Chain A
Amino acid sequence: MPPPPDPKSVFLNIPYDKEFTNLCVAYVVGLCHLDLFPHIAAEIPGGERRLNRIFRLIQSCRYSIHDLSRVEISVSPSATPRFNMPLELGMTITWANLKPSRHTWFVWESAPYRLQRSVSDLNGTDRYIHNGSPEGVLRELCNSFQRDNTPTVPQMLENYRYIHRHLNAILRKNGSSNPYHRSVFTDLCLISKTLADLIRLNRSVVQ
């Protein structure tokens, strides 16, 4: 039996592609502003079989967000559908059904009816629609989680824009061009949390 999950950890089941960078940053900013710890599969070190590592990460997180907005056929000549996200969602659903008190999962989409067409078995499941925008991601995060004294969605959005403006500097500091690398991801978490704390401090002292 794995140890109990961390009540602040959230597993992000997202695509690791360039087009998704904006939304990934929005997820990190939003979750850190809610004082939660986002996690992605890319941050766990190698060695063991990838699927086992992902499953252990899911088990160690109290919550998971499965963004299926980019489950689509790739534009490459082979035109292959992307199945990683639904696969990890399936693993999570099994785990949550076995241990309902240990895990809660959320399904996110970009458009209201897409999920009904792509995974009709999930009909009747709450879905969170972010419309493919960072603002939508932040709004839906606040619809999924709430915590006292959390910055508002416009404040989060401002911080998201600030961090996004500095993304290239963060990538350079890590000698990387990939925002999903572990070091870049943890830097994003650290900066997001720092800015969230500053906003909270500024607000409480000025009031």
Chain B
Amino acid sequence: MRNSQYDMGYKVHKPIHITAPRPTLEQMEKHYRIPRSRRKELQLIVDQFKATLPNWGEARGNATELEKRRKRASAA
């Protein structure tokens, strides 16, 4: 018996859940053998992107504040 979804020419199973640890940027550079200097050369494009992010300044401020709080907590 044919599957009706196949008859429609379109069938999608459940997606594969990726459980492998999320790689860092450094791991990616190592994986592709990208020299570290490359990141600096592409920095301008990344910086322009940051400016387009809503709340980026606020997010950075919050991140700095969170970092300070974490440091204070760990020092105490």
Binding site for B on A (CB under 8 A): 6-8, 34-37, 43, 63, 104, 112-113, 115-116, 123-124, 126-129, 142-147, 159, 162, 166, 169-170, 173, 186-187, 189-191, 193-195, 197-199, 201-202, 205-206
Contacts and interface: CB of A to CB of B under 8 A. Distances in A.
B56 A170 contact: no
Interface in B1-54: 3, 6, 8-13, 15-18, 20, 22-23, 25, 28-29, 31-32, 34, 38-39, 41-42, 45-46, 49-50, 52-53
A127 B13 CA distance: 9
A147 B22 CA distance: 9
Contacts of A166: 45
Given A116-B9, A126-B13, A162-B49, A37 B63 contact: no
Contacts of B11: 126-127
A contacts with B: majority SS:
helix
B45 to A, nearest CB: 5
A193 B50 contact: no
23 contacts: A6-B31, A34-B18, A36-B18, A37-B31, A63-B16, A104-B16, A112-B10, A126-B12, A129-B9, A129-B10, A143-B12, A145-B18, A170-B42, A173-B41, A186-B38, A187-B38, A189-B28, A190-B34, A191-B46, A195-B46, A202-B59, A205-B62, A206-B62
Contacts of B56: 202
B42 A145 contact: no
Given A35-B23, A116-B9, A193 B55 contact: no
B38 A190 contact: yes
Nearest 10 Cβ contacts at the A-B interface: A112-B9, A7-B20, A147-B18, A146-B15, A205-B59, A186-B32, A113-B9, A35-B22, A202-B59, A205-B62
A144 B45 CA distance: 29
B63 A201 contact: yes
Contacts of A115: 9
Given A128-B12, A146-B15, A162-B52, A193 B25 contact: yes
Contacts of B46: 191, 194-195, 198
Contact of B18 (A35, A173, A191): A35
Contacts of B62: 205-206
Nearest to A35: B22
B16 A198 contact: no
Given A198-B49, A201-B59, A186 B16 contact: no
Contacts of A189: 28, 32
Nearest to A188: B42
